[in-house]
Amino acid sequence: MKTFYYTLTIALLGSTGTTHAADTVTQNIDLTIPLVELIDVENISPTFDFSAPSNAGDGFAAPEGVTSSVAITSNNPNAQLDVHTSSNINGIDLKISSTSGICDSSTLSDRLSTAPQYCSVGKRQTSSGSLTISAEPSGGNGMIPYGTYSTDIIYTLTQN
């Protein structure tokens, strides 16, 4: 068995000394990776029901925040998440009180408005992100004109 091993080694070394005609081969391989920026926020219609105060002089308390799961697939290092509302509501502040697993460095102020706000998302693949939206009386007065209100929170992954 040992003898066979030495013999084979010599044979392989010898073969490298064989003369061949020059031959250059180049393969160009093109790979196309499409830009993908996908975001999905579950719970597309959260509701907030304020409870009336029971004593004169008391204000409305903030109802409990609503947490939604967030899935993101992004292969753009420069992707940012733009969050804004379709309209402002008189007397109510809408806030993002937490973003987990969504942003690299969040510059979102906690008060949402029609003005876009951004946080850095970059390359990310997650189905376990979450964000919490809360609603509370604005201005510290605790009083909100009665009625039923609706607004959209719009989430957009931007390319830069």
Residues numbered 24-63 forming contacts with other proteins, rule: CB under 8 A: 24-41, 43-60
Q: How far is CA 95 from CA 69, 119, 134, in A?
A: 16, 15, 5
Give the Cβ contact number of residue 60 at 10 Å.
Answer: 19
Structure tokens at 88: 């402002």
The answer to whether residue 15 forms part of the interface with other proteins (CB under 8 A) is no
**Is the CB of residue 66 less than 8 Å from the CB of residue 48?**
yes
Window 124 to 153, contacts with other proteins (CB under 8 A): 133, 135, 141-153
Window 65 to 94, contacts with other proteins (CB under 8 A): 68, 74, 79, 86, 89, 91-92, 94
Which residue, among 147, 136, 133, 157, has the nearest Cα to 43 in the 3D structure?
A: 133
Of residues 3 and 65, the one with the C-beta less far from other proteins: 65
Structure tokens at 65: 């925040």
The answer to whether residue 103 forms part of the interface with other proteins (CB under 8 A) is no
Of residues 3 and 14, the one with the C-beta less far from other proteins: 14
The rounded distance, in Å, linking the Cα atoms of 144 and 146 is: 6
The answer to whether residue 1 forms part of the interface with other proteins (CB under 8 A) is no
> How many amino acids of this chain bind other proteins (CB under 8 A)?
71
The answer to whether residue 119 forms part of the interface with other proteins (CB under 8 A) is no
